Structure 1
């Protein structure tokens, strides 16, 4: 090493070595972990277990295996007992569950019957009120003007039944006949539900846009606060379940409505489902179609929009 390097504090790795030692190859020590990975292929735990097994008495291994088999047999018996107890409990409570289901079904049917009776009474009373107010208002000019305004409001509020010409749109899921009386065309078990609530909503909105004056879906009048929505596999109209085939009746000028409906987004959507999934679609015009009155609801808040 030169004097300049020594003055700068340099270190000569060959200092103190003979020429032979300096020319020899320097070997780096191998870490113990790397050495163990390369040389010891058996985990120490396995090695200890093998040594313990070799040092054990000759009959000890058989006793250990027998004890293991006994524990496995005991676990299998315990699992079988648990399953047997669960099955026995399910069988014991099954009659009670079935009886409770029958009671609940009877309660539902009774409530539906009472609701239907109340609806019929409401319709009768509403008809009587309408007759009385017409007799009281039809004599004077002001009364007749008021009756005309009331008729327009009841038509918009869907609280009066409507009879007249219009269109009937019937859509059915695949494997469901348009005519429910045809047993051969009923739904095949396991068939898919293709028609959804948004499809019926689109058809109804298209009929409104084509000039419909009153619309019903599945025999239920569409009016203010009436919704068409999906609940699992059922479609609810005003919270009443309806099933395929779905019948949509629209009262209005049939010729112009049908011409406009043929190019509407609702029928285009139905035709696409018909081509892709085999949905049944039928549009027919008729006279004397009936749309029932809708349920009258109390309005708690209203805001006038427009002039």
Structure 2
């Protein structure tokens, strides 16, 4: 094909020899410097002159500080409550109505968790699965390797159903209206934050509570996950324990009237 060879010859003659192309660096360097300067200025404005990650790095410290504040306030509430009770008793020592109400309050104080309880106890300890290197196995679901809110609730509910007279989660006495909440792998209970392992201690009839734990389907699921994924589930006889009185408020903030 003569035409084709002629064309290739022309292009070859035009492009023969070394072609000197101008280097792009003289104009790329100033542009890169301008872009970097703009990004730096944007970062300074966004952080208002402070470290961008400050909020994230300080979060654990803020949680610990708030936990200390809550503990201090709970102690003050206990002191004030005791002062109110002493003042009430001193104001009307001979009033029959007051005495009757005080007797009624004393009768229901145990059920309301307002008294210290001592007796034989069971303790259930729940903990996350140990992970080599802190990494979830390839293809695994991270949720399978940690204790969740529903796991703690399952143990608590089973123990109540088994006739527990008093119960404590971690170092706090709880009652039937206590709320157990988990955020990530931490437990939030009555204003305090805890990390695993989680302990649930209950006073009552040991055989009845143990039997209920054995029969409960939700608790059995925890035991299955303990076998499959290495979660910690440990049930032990805790001997004779003394559980402190419940320190929180028992005044309901939400109520629903049965209209049936």
Pick aligned residue for 1:206 from 152, 158, 161: 158
CA displacement, residues 248-289 of structure 1 (integer Å, 9 cap, x when unaligned):
011222232223322222431221121111122221232123
**Given the alignment of the two structures, is residue 97 of structure 1 paired with residue 42 of structure 2, yes or no?**
no
What TM-score, normalized to structure 2?
A: 0.67
In 2, the alpha carbon distance for the partners of 1:250 and 1:73 equals 77
Unaligned runs of 5+ in 2: 1-6, 137-141
State the distance in 2 between where 1:107 and 1:279 align. 29
Could you tell me which residue of structure 2 aligns to residue 11 of structure 1? none
SS at match of 1:262: helix
Normalised to the residue count of structure 1, the TM-score between the two structures is 0.58
In structure 2, distance between residues paired with 1:121 and 1:129: 12
Q: Is the 8 A contact 2:63 2:193 kept in 1?
A: no
Give unmatched runs, 5+ long, in structure 1.
Answer: 1-49, 177-186
Structure 1 Cα separation of the partners of residues 60 and 234 of structure 2: 35
Number of residue pairs aligned between Structure 1 and Structure 2: 241
- Residue pair 1:174, 1:194 contacting (<8 A) in 2 also: yes
Q: Deviations over 1:98-151 (max 9, x none)?
A: 996698877766654443322212112223444565688998987665345324
What SS class does the counterpart of residue 208 from structure 1 fall into?
helix
Counterparts of 1:13-92 in structure 2 under 5 Å? 54=11, 58=15, 62=19, 66-67=21-22, 70-71=23-24, 74-75=27-28, 78-79=31-32, 82=35
Aligned twin of 2:80: 125
Deviates more, 1:110-119 or 1:200-209: 110-119
Q: 1 CA distance for matches of 2:52 and 2:232? A: 38
Q: Which of structures 1 and 2 has the bigger CA Rg? A: 1
Q: CA deviation at 1:77?
A: 7.0
Q: Which residue of 2 aligns with 1:232?
A: 184
User: 1:197 Cα shift?
Assistant: 0.9
Aligned residue runs from structure 1 range 177-196, under 5 A: 189-190=134-135, 193-196=145-148
The residue that corresponds to 1:280 in the other structure is: 232
Higher relative contact order (CA 8 A, sep 6+): 2
The whole-number CA distance in structure 2 between the counterparts of 1:190 and 1:292 is 41
In 2, are the aligned partners of 1:249 and 1:289 still within 8 Å (CA)?
no
